[in-house]
A = this chain, B = another copy of it.
Amino acid sequence: MEQIEQMKQIKQDGLKKLTEKSRLLSQCSLFQGIEPVVINEMLNCLEPKSCRYKKNDTIALAGEPFESIGVLLKGEALVIKETAAGHRSMMALLRPGDLFGEIVVFSKNSAWPATVIAQEESQALFISRRKLTGQCEQSCTWHRTIIENMLRIISEKAMMLNKKVEYLTIKSMRGKLSTFFLEQHRKAGTTTFRLPMKRNELADFLNVSRPSMSREMARMREEGLIDFHLETVRIINAEALRDMGE
Protein backbone atom coordinates (compact mmCIF):
# COMPACT_ATOMS: atom_id res chain seq x y z
CA MET A 1 0.00 0.00 0.00
CA GLU A 2 2.75 2.31 0.95
CA GLN A 3 4.54 1.41 -2.23
CA ILE A 4 1.61 2.50 -4.34
CA GLU A 5 1.46 5.82 -2.55
CA GLN A 6 5.16 6.22 -3.19
CA MET A 7 4.78 5.53 -6.87
CA LYS A 8 1.96 8.00 -7.13
CA GLN A 9 4.20 10.53 -5.51
CA ILE A 10 6.99 9.86 -7.98
CA LYS A 11 4.61 10.17 -10.89
CA GLN A 12 3.28 13.43 -9.51
CA ASP A 13 6.79 14.74 -9.09
CA GLY A 14 7.52 13.79 -12.67
CA LEU A 15 4.47 15.66 -13.89
CA LYS A 16 5.32 18.65 -11.78
CA LYS A 17 8.80 18.67 -13.25
CA LEU A 18 7.46 18.40 -16.76
CA THR A 19 5.05 21.22 -16.31
CA GLU A 20 7.72 23.28 -14.63
CA LYS A 21 10.00 22.70 -17.57
CA SER A 22 7.36 23.64 -20.08
CA ARG A 23 6.35 26.63 -18.01
CA LEU A 24 9.95 27.76 -18.13
CA LEU A 25 10.13 27.13 -21.84
CA SER A 26 6.94 29.06 -22.49
CA GLN A 27 8.84 32.12 -21.22
CA CYS A 28 11.57 31.41 -23.74
CA SER A 29 11.52 33.36 -26.99
CA LEU A 30 11.81 30.16 -28.97
CA PHE A 31 8.46 28.93 -27.68
CA GLN A 32 6.71 32.28 -27.64
CA GLY A 33 3.00 31.99 -28.29
CA ILE A 34 2.79 28.30 -27.48
CA GLU A 35 0.81 26.97 -24.51
CA PRO A 36 2.83 25.13 -21.85
CA VAL A 37 0.59 22.09 -22.35
CA VAL A 38 1.41 22.04 -26.04
CA ILE A 39 5.11 22.47 -25.33
CA ASN A 40 4.98 19.24 -23.38
CA GLU A 41 3.71 17.41 -26.47
CA MET A 42 6.28 19.12 -28.65
CA LEU A 43 9.15 17.97 -26.49
CA ASN A 44 8.33 14.37 -27.36
CA CYS A 45 8.83 15.24 -30.97
CA LEU A 46 11.80 17.60 -30.63
CA GLU A 47 13.72 15.07 -28.55
CA PRO A 48 15.88 17.60 -26.76
CA LYS A 49 18.95 16.53 -24.86
CA SER A 50 18.92 17.77 -21.32
CA CYS A 51 22.27 18.25 -19.59
CA ARG A 52 23.27 19.26 -16.09
CA TYR A 53 26.42 21.12 -15.22
CA LYS A 54 28.35 21.95 -12.11
CA LYS A 55 29.95 25.30 -11.50
CA ASN A 56 32.76 26.06 -13.98
CA ASP A 57 31.75 23.18 -16.23
CA THR A 58 32.09 23.80 -19.95
CA ILE A 59 28.68 23.81 -21.59
CA ALA A 60 30.03 24.48 -25.07
CA LEU A 61 33.59 24.77 -26.32
CA ALA A 62 34.58 27.18 -29.07
CA GLY A 63 35.65 25.34 -32.20
CA GLU A 64 33.79 22.12 -31.42
CA PRO A 65 31.31 21.03 -34.09
CA PHE A 66 27.64 21.20 -33.20
CA GLU A 67 24.18 21.03 -34.65
CA SER A 68 22.03 22.03 -31.75
CA ILE A 69 20.63 25.21 -30.33
CA GLY A 70 20.92 25.62 -26.59
CA VAL A 71 18.43 26.88 -24.03
CA LEU A 72 19.58 27.62 -20.52
CA LEU A 73 16.95 26.18 -18.19
CA LYS A 74 18.47 26.76 -14.80
CA GLY A 75 21.45 28.58 -13.37
CA GLU A 76 23.71 31.13 -14.95
CA ALA A 77 26.32 30.88 -17.67
CA LEU A 78 28.93 33.06 -19.31
CA VAL A 79 29.55 33.30 -23.04
CA ILE A 80 33.26 33.81 -23.49
CA LYS A 81 35.38 34.60 -26.51
CA GLU A 82 39.02 33.65 -26.37
CA THR A 83 41.50 35.39 -28.59
CA ALA A 84 44.41 33.54 -30.10
CA ALA A 85 46.61 34.85 -27.29
CA GLY A 86 44.35 33.19 -24.76
CA HIS A 87 42.89 36.50 -23.68
CA ARG A 88 39.29 36.06 -22.58
CA SER A 89 36.52 38.55 -23.04
CA MET A 90 32.99 38.19 -21.80
CA MET A 91 30.37 38.40 -24.49
CA ALA A 92 27.14 37.75 -22.64
CA LEU A 93 25.63 36.54 -19.40
CA LEU A 94 22.97 33.88 -19.87
CA ARG A 95 19.99 33.53 -17.54
CA PRO A 96 17.23 30.94 -17.51
CA GLY A 97 15.24 31.06 -20.76
CA ASP A 98 18.10 32.55 -22.77
CA LEU A 99 19.15 30.94 -26.03
CA PHE A 100 22.70 30.34 -27.15
CA GLY A 101 24.16 29.25 -30.44
CA GLU A 102 21.09 30.59 -32.20
CA ILE A 103 23.10 32.38 -34.89
CA VAL A 104 25.24 29.45 -35.78
CA VAL A 105 22.91 26.49 -35.88
CA PHE A 106 21.70 27.24 -39.35
CA SER A 107 24.87 28.54 -40.91
CA LYS A 108 27.13 26.31 -42.95
CA ASN A 109 30.03 26.63 -40.59
CA SER A 110 28.76 24.59 -37.70
CA ALA A 111 31.35 25.13 -35.01
CA TRP A 112 30.74 26.95 -31.74
CA PRO A 113 32.14 30.46 -32.18
CA ALA A 114 32.41 31.00 -28.45
CA THR A 115 32.73 29.07 -25.22
CA VAL A 116 29.91 28.79 -22.70
CA ILE A 117 30.77 28.14 -19.07
CA ALA A 118 28.41 27.46 -16.19
CA GLN A 119 28.74 30.05 -13.42
CA GLU A 120 26.78 27.96 -10.98
CA GLU A 121 24.94 24.65 -10.99
CA SER A 122 23.04 24.82 -14.25
CA GLN A 123 20.88 22.90 -16.65
CA ALA A 124 20.63 23.31 -20.40
CA LEU A 125 18.51 21.88 -23.18
CA PHE A 126 19.79 21.16 -26.67
CA ILE A 127 17.50 20.88 -29.65
CA SER A 128 19.02 19.66 -32.87
CA ARG A 129 18.77 21.66 -36.01
CA ARG A 130 17.01 18.85 -37.84
CA LYS A 131 14.30 18.43 -35.27
CA LEU A 132 13.73 22.15 -35.39
CA THR A 133 13.15 22.38 -39.12
CA GLY A 134 12.03 18.84 -39.71
CA GLN A 135 8.34 18.33 -40.22
CA CYS A 136 6.96 15.55 -38.14
CA GLU A 137 3.78 14.12 -39.54
CA GLN A 138 1.38 15.30 -36.89
CA SER A 139 0.86 18.70 -35.35
CA CYS A 140 2.54 20.81 -37.97
CA THR A 141 0.71 23.80 -36.54
CA TRP A 142 3.11 24.46 -33.76
CA HIS A 143 6.02 23.49 -35.93
CA ARG A 144 5.19 26.47 -38.04
CA THR A 145 5.09 28.68 -34.96
CA ILE A 146 8.49 27.54 -33.82
CA ILE A 147 10.02 28.17 -37.20
CA GLU A 148 8.51 31.63 -37.32
CA ASN A 149 9.90 32.26 -33.86
CA MET A 150 13.29 31.08 -35.00
CA LEU A 151 13.23 33.37 -38.01
CA ARG A 152 12.19 36.28 -35.82
CA ILE A 153 14.89 35.59 -33.25
CA ILE A 154 17.71 35.42 -35.75
CA SER A 155 16.41 38.43 -37.65
CA GLU A 156 16.27 40.49 -34.52
CA LYS A 157 19.78 39.43 -33.63
CA ALA A 158 20.93 40.51 -37.06
CA MET A 159 19.13 43.82 -36.69
CA MET A 160 20.79 44.36 -33.33
CA LEU A 161 24.20 43.58 -34.76
CA ASN A 162 23.50 45.87 -37.67
CA LYS A 163 22.71 48.71 -35.32
CA LYS A 164 25.86 47.99 -33.38
CA VAL A 165 27.92 48.11 -36.56
CA GLU A 166 26.36 51.47 -37.38
CA TYR A 167 27.48 52.90 -34.08
CA LEU A 168 30.93 51.38 -34.24
CA THR A 169 31.44 52.71 -37.74
CA ILE A 170 31.00 56.32 -36.66
CA LYS A 171 34.48 57.62 -36.05
CA SER A 172 34.13 60.72 -33.91
CA MET A 173 33.11 60.71 -30.29
CA ARG A 174 30.67 63.51 -30.91
CA GLY A 175 29.14 61.67 -33.83
CA LYS A 176 28.51 58.60 -31.71
CA LEU A 177 27.00 60.58 -28.86
CA SER A 178 24.85 62.68 -31.17
CA THR A 179 23.51 59.63 -32.95
CA PHE A 180 22.80 57.90 -29.68
CA PHE A 181 21.07 60.88 -28.11
CA LEU A 182 18.96 61.49 -31.19
CA GLU A 183 17.89 57.85 -31.23
CA GLN A 184 16.87 58.02 -27.58
CA HIS A 185 15.07 61.25 -28.30
CA ARG A 186 13.20 59.66 -31.19
CA LYS A 187 12.24 56.66 -29.07
CA ALA A 188 11.08 58.74 -26.13
CA GLY A 189 9.34 61.38 -28.20
CA THR A 190 10.39 64.07 -25.75
CA THR A 191 13.41 66.38 -25.73
CA THR A 192 14.17 65.32 -22.17
CA PHE A 193 14.76 61.63 -21.55
CA ARG A 194 16.64 59.22 -19.34
CA LEU A 195 19.62 57.24 -20.52
CA PRO A 196 18.99 53.49 -20.45
CA MET A 197 22.54 52.71 -19.31
CA LYS A 198 25.15 53.80 -16.84
CA ARG A 199 28.10 55.78 -18.13
CA ASN A 200 30.35 52.75 -18.05
CA GLU A 201 27.97 50.67 -20.11
CA LEU A 202 27.34 53.45 -22.59
CA ALA A 203 31.06 53.98 -23.07
CA ASP A 204 31.39 50.26 -23.59
CA PHE A 205 28.55 50.19 -26.09
CA LEU A 206 30.06 53.04 -28.10
CA ASN A 207 33.49 51.44 -27.74
CA VAL A 208 35.11 54.52 -26.21
CA SER A 209 36.69 55.22 -22.84
CA ARG A 210 34.49 56.53 -20.08
CA PRO A 211 36.50 59.65 -19.19
CA SER A 212 36.79 60.70 -22.83
CA MET A 213 33.06 60.32 -23.20
CA SER A 214 32.35 62.42 -20.13
CA ARG A 215 34.72 65.04 -21.42
CA GLU A 216 32.95 65.25 -24.75
CA MET A 217 29.53 65.40 -23.10
CA ALA A 218 30.74 68.29 -20.99
CA ARG A 219 31.95 70.09 -24.12
CA MET A 220 28.61 69.55 -25.83
CA ARG A 221 26.90 71.07 -22.83
CA GLU A 222 29.25 74.07 -22.89
CA GLU A 223 28.43 74.58 -26.53
CA GLY A 224 24.72 74.56 -25.81
CA LEU A 225 23.93 71.40 -27.79
CA ILE A 226 22.59 69.42 -24.86
CA ASP A 227 22.09 69.61 -21.15
CA PHE A 228 22.31 66.72 -18.73
CA HIS A 229 22.45 65.69 -15.14
CA LEU A 230 23.30 62.09 -14.35
CA GLU A 231 20.90 59.91 -16.32
CA THR A 232 18.70 62.78 -17.48
CA VAL A 233 19.52 64.31 -20.84
CA ARG A 234 17.82 67.18 -22.61
CA ILE A 235 18.39 67.97 -26.24
CA ILE A 236 18.70 71.67 -26.90
CA ASN A 237 20.01 71.99 -30.44
CA ALA A 238 18.75 68.95 -32.35
CA GLU A 239 19.78 70.39 -35.71
CA ALA A 240 23.41 70.69 -34.70
CA LEU A 241 23.35 67.13 -33.38
CA ARG A 242 21.96 65.85 -36.65
CA ASP A 243 24.83 67.48 -38.50
CA MET A 244 27.26 65.42 -36.47
CA GLY A 245 25.96 62.05 -37.64
CA GLU A 246 28.86 61.11 -39.85
Contacts and interface: CB of A to CB of B under 8 A. Distances in A.
A109 B147 contact: no
The dominant DSSP class at the A interface is helix
A87 B133 contact: no
Contacts of A107: 152, 155-156, 158-159
Contacts of A151: 106, 133, 147, 150-151, 154
A165 interface: yes
B159 A109 contact: yes
22 contacts: A83-B179, A83-B242, A84-B242, A84-B245, A85-B242, A103-B155, A103-B159, A105-B155, A106-B151, A107-B156, A107-B158, A107-B159, A133-B148, A147-B151, A154-B155, A154-B158, A158-B158, A161-B161, A161-B162, A161-B164, A165-B165, A165-B168
- For the complex of A and B, list the 8 residue pairs with the smallest distance between their C-beta atoms, beginning with the closest: A161-B161, A168-B168, A84-B242, A106-B151, A83-B245, A106-B155, A107-B155, A158-B158
Interface of A: 81, 83-85, 87, 89, 103-109, 113, 133, 135, 140, 144, 147-148, 150-152, 154-159, 161-162, 164-166, 168-169, 171, 179, 182, 207, 241-246
Given A103-B159, A133-B147, 10 more contacts: A84-B241, A87-B245, A89-B246, A104-B159, A107-B158, A108-B152, A151-B151, A158-B161, A161-B161, A165-B168
